[in-house]
Amino acid sequence: MNFNPSQKQAITHTTGPCLVLAGPGSGKTAVITKRTEYLITRCQVRPHQILVVTFTKAAAGEMRTRFEQMTSQKYPGVSFGTFHAVFFTILKHAYHYTASNIAREEVKYQFMREIIARNKFACEDESEFAHHMLNEISVLKNSGTEVQNYYPVHCGKEIFRQVFAEYGRYMHDNCLIDFDDILVYTKELLEQRADVRAAWQQKFAYIMVDEFQDINSLQYQTIRLLCGKADNLFAVGDDDQSIYRFRGSKPELMLNFPKDFPKTQVIHLSVNYRCPKEVVYRAGKLIRCNKNRFDKQIESAGMDGTAFRTAKFETIQEENKALVELIRCKVEQGVRYGQMAVLYRTNTQPGPFIAKLMEYNLPFRTKERIPNLYEHWIAQDMKAYFRLALGSRERQDFLRIMNRPKRYISRESLSMRELSFEEWQDFYKEQPWIAERIEQLQYDLQVLNRITPFAAINYIRKAVGYDEYLTDYALSRQIPVNELFETLDEIQESTKEYKQLEAWMRFTQEYTEKLKQEQRRQQEQTDSISVLTLHASKGLEYDIVMIPDVNEGMIPYKKAVLEAELEEERRMMYVGMTRAKKELFVSCVQSIRGKKVEPSCFWKEIL
């Protein structure tokens, strides 16, 4: 392989700290593996003294394979691993941990659900709440913040502290640690035991970290402890691709590297071997709008030509139809499905597009689980109302909606499996004001039975008071009520083309079943369109990349308010754009669910 001057400079760096700013498609993996070989063959470094750290098991495996192919497996002993794997090795030697001490995901979730049930925390979706709590605990541990100084996002402070304490007691009593504990305990060990620290510093005399922009404070501090006085740290990454702030990654850690290591040599890998020239130019225009970054001049070794196109559509429905037509056109031109990707900001956005793909029977795959809108607890509420309006007298349907909104009806009043409204009202003969509410519910269900699904949801929201219920629920959970309203708006929008409640209910069942079939089929298909979030697209590349919905509130996402958050959104867009090897198609819409929307501020920055 021929290396350019900057790549050669990085490969032949020997001792002391080095920061390699490696832009998209700049050959950083080749540089790391070649430098590993260079240290062994030219600098007489023993293989077991070299540690190469990255963030995923797949990336570490790929790096090891590339190195072994390059050297014909002549130099066993080089350590390639993730932060967790490397740090767990250190803990195994110190505390004799085994894999059985690491809590499996299902064990963590099961215990979190037990905590929620035992404390009777109010939540509509127990699994979702458990997921949020485990994420909050992970963020807390990785930030190094004390629990009393942590402000949770998904619940009140007292509830979170209680959950955190019970979770910690369970892990301790069962001799278990989670993946975040691996990082926390390794840092504490290296800080407190000088002998252990010295032994591992001698063992790993040369440390290379890939994707350095993704490092969090805890990982960074632990790596610095491993470096020792020699500071032989070779950090490779791109601050412009730092997009995991929610995991604790911050570009500031990379930007401050030359200050933390004053003798740092900074090397720019500034040739993009992946993207066409126009894509590099447009992506460069975008990312230069960020202020908190290293200044770079990225060049393209790619082709000239019309590799970048944009389009505006009136609605998301029109946009989705155009995307499908573009995909079909490319297939006719000989492009494989597997060489095309459609990238979204969040995993809730692609639902309508996936429905369109299924309508045209086009193969697709998702890296993340795409939430089914009709399995959301709000959709389940609407369907329960509809079933009751259609004549269901199932106890579970009444239990679901009897206090949504609050009617002060108790579960004890529903002792029978199938309900009679007369018996139900009779149960409350001593509390006639509740009996009146049951009578009103009976009337509301009769109204729903006579109107269209769209009008029915509107009636539930306004006349029955479901919007007020959502507002109270959001307030109690300390979450933005607008997110709940947007979900309900989308559910209501999906009913527009149906005249009867049964027809819409049948559609949701068929859609859910077809989605499950598609997810099963994904395991068998090798050639399929990738439908990904911008986060999930990082590290991947495709001939054709499409980024739809480049609108204010979508990308940048509506929650991005602070300047640092807006810059991260811009970096996400930059990552998405630079996945394209041949063509990039960017689009926006002019209205969503009948409301006018504006093109993203990024739209103007790339034009």
Triad 87, 90, 93: Cα angle to 5°: 150
What's the confidence (pLDDT) of residue 305? 67
Beta strands in 436-517 (DSSP E): none
Structure tokens at 224: 């610095």
Q: How confident is the model at residue 591 (pLDDT cuts 50, 70, 90)?
A: very high
What's the confidence (pLDDT) of residue 209? 97
Tell me: the pLDDT tens digits for 466-493?
999 999 988 887 778 988 999 999 999 9
Beta bridge partner(s), residue 394: 418
| Three-class secondary structure assignment of 389-401 | HCCCCEHHHHHHH
Rounded to 10 deg, the angle between the 351-359 and 316-332 helix axes is: 50
The residues, any chain, with a CB within 8 Å of residue 35's CB and separated by 6 or more, are 10, 11, 12, 13, 208, 234
Mean pLDDT for 47-63 is 94
Tell me: the pLDDT tens digits for 507-529?
999 999 988 888 777 767 789 99
Are β-strands 595-596 and 591-592 bridged in parallel, bridged antiparallel, or unpaired?
Answer: antiparallel
Q: Which helix (H) or strand (E) holds 20?
A: strand 18-22
Evaluate whether 182 touches 87 at the Cβ level (below 8 Å): yes
Is the peptide bond between 556 and the residue preceding it cis, with omega within 30 degrees of 0? yes
Three-state SS at 342: strand
What's the confidence (pLDDT) of residue 491? 95
Tell me: the pLDDT tens digits for 531-567?
999 999 999 999 999 999 999 999 999 988 899 999 9
Percent of the chain with pLDDT over 90: 76
Chain CA centroid to CA 410, Å: 39
d(CA 226, CA 199): 9
pLDDT averaged over every residue in the chain: 92
What's the confidence (pLDDT) of residue 248? 83
**Residue 180 phi, psi dihedral angles, 5° rounding:** -70, -35
d(CA 370, CA 345): 12
| Order of strands across the sheet that contains 340-344 | 308-313, 580-589, 542-547, 340-344, 529-533, 364-366
Q: How confident is the model at residue 120 (pLDDT cuts 50, 70, 90)?
A: confident
| Known binding-site positions for ATP | 22-29
Q: Which residues of 537-574 are buried (b: 16+ CB within 10 A; e: fewer)?
A: bbeebbebbbbbbbbbbbbbbeebeeeeebbbbbbbbb
What's the confidence (pLDDT) of residue 386? 97
Rounded to 10 deg, the angle between the 217-227 and 194-203 helix axes is: 80
The residues, any chain, with a CB within 8 Å of residue 45's CB and separated by 6 or more, are 39, 205, 206
The CB-based long-range contact list for 131-138 (8 Å cut-off, 24+ gap) reads 133/160, 133/163, 133/167, 134/108, 134/109, 136/160, 137/163, 137/164, 137/167, 137/180, 138/178, 138/179, 138/180, 138/247
What's the confidence (pLDDT) of residue 122? 73
- Please count the other Cβ atoms lying within 10 Å of the Cβ belonging to residue 377: 15
What's the confidence (pLDDT) of residue 412? 85
Tell me: the pLDDT tens digits for 231-285?
999 999 999 999 998 888 889 999 999 999 999 999 999 999 999 999 999 999 9
Tell me: the pLDDT tens digits for 304-354?
767 999 999 999 999 999 999 999 999 999 999 999 999 999 988 998 999
Mean pLDDT for 200-204 is 96
Of 165, 115, 103, the C-alpha closest to 140 is 165
d(CA 219, CA 223): 6
Q: Taking the complete model, does pTM exceed 0.95, yes or no? A: no
Q: How confident is the model at residue 419 (pLDDT cuts 50, 70, 90)?
A: confident
d(CA 581, CA 273): 9
- Confidence check: pLDDT of 83 > 80: yes
| Known binding-site positions | 22-29
